[in-house]
Chain A
Amino acid sequence: EPEVTQTPSHQVTQMGQEVILRCVPISNHLYFYWYRQILGQKVEFLVSFYNNEISEKSEIFDDQFSVERPDGSNFTLKIRSTKLEDSAMYFCASTTTGISYGYTFGSGTRLTVV
C-alpha cells in the first residue's frame, strides 16, 4: 500500500535554529498538508498546499513557517527560527479526491526544541 514518508523521525534543535521537515507524499496525490500535535493534545491543521501554492493556512502558520515542493516529489515544512513551543509531532498528509478520497498520514517527525 502506498505510504507517505517523513524524515527524520525525530529531530532535536536549539532554539532559534532553522529546521526543515521533509515529506514524500503518495505519487498520484494532488493535495498536501502539514499538521501539528503538541504532546498530549489534539492534531491541528497547519497548512494545505495544492497546485504549487498554499490553499489554506491556520493562524498557527505564521511568518516563521513556510512550505515548499521543490522537486515534484518532496514536500517540506521549514520553521525559520524555532521556539520552545514549536516542540511537537509534525504530520504530513496527502490526499486525492473523487471516489477514492482518503487521507494518508506519514508517521510523523517529533521535533524537540531545546
Chain B
Amino acid sequence: AQKVTQAQTEISVVEKEDVTLDCVYETRDTTYYLFWYKQPPSGELVFLIRRNSFDEQNEISGRYSWNFQKSTSSFNFTITASQVVDSAVYFCALSEAGGGGATNKLIFGTGTLLAVQP
C-alpha cells in the first residue's frame, strides 16, 4: 500500500534559521515519483520538485534542497536561511507511475505547517 508520512505537524523557526521537513514514504513499486508542494495561506498548491525513484541525486535550488534516500524511504526538504515568505503548509506526495499514467494518483502526506517568525 502507498503511504506518505510527515511526522512534523508544525514547525516554528526564526528567520534565517535552517529548517528540515521530513517525509517518509511507503510503496511496493520500483518506479515512483515523489513531490513536494507548498500551500501558502491563499490555498493554491505550488509545485516545488518532482523526483523519480531512479534518481537519488540530491537537488539544490536556491535556498531549497532535497535529500532523497531510498534506503530509508525518505525524501526530506531543507530550507536554508528561512524567510517569512516561506511560511506555508508543505506537502510531500507520492505517485506510483509504473503503470503508464492512467491511475497515477498522488498520495499526499498530512502536511507540515512551517511558521517563520521575523
Contacts and interface: CB of A to CB of B under 8 A. Distances in A.
Determine which residue in B35, B45, B93, B103 has the highest number of CB atoms from chain A within 10 A of its CB, and name it: B45
A109 to B, nearest CB: 10
Contact of A55 (B33, B47, B103): B103
A102 interface: yes
B77 interface: no
Given A43-B45, A43-B91, A103-B35, A97 B101 contact: yes
Contact of A31 (B101, B109, B110): B101
B107 A89 contact: no
B102 A50 contact: yes
Interface string A77-101: 0000000000001010101110001
Interface residues of A, number: 29
Interface in B36-79: 37, 43-45, 47, 50
B104 to A, nearest CB: 7
A42 B95 contact: no
B16 interface: no
A56 interface: yes
Contacts of A56: 102-103, 105
A55 to B, nearest CB: 4
B89 to A, nearest CB: 9
Nearest to B91: A43
Interface string A101-112: 111110110100
A103 B93 CA distance: 11
B97 interface: yes
A52 to B, nearest CB: 12
B118 interface: no
Interface of A: 30-31, 33, 35, 41-45, 48, 50-51, 55-56, 58, 89, 91, 93, 95-97, 101-105, 107-108, 110
29 contacts: A31-B102, A33-B105, A35-B106, A41-B110, A42-B91, A42-B108, A42-B111, A43-B91, A45-B106, A48-B102, A48-B104, A48-B105, A50-B101, A55-B102, A55-B103, A56-B102, A91-B45, A95-B101, A96-B101, A97-B101, A101-B97, A101-B101, A103-B50, A103-B95, A104-B47, A105-B45, A105-B47, A107-B43, A108-B44
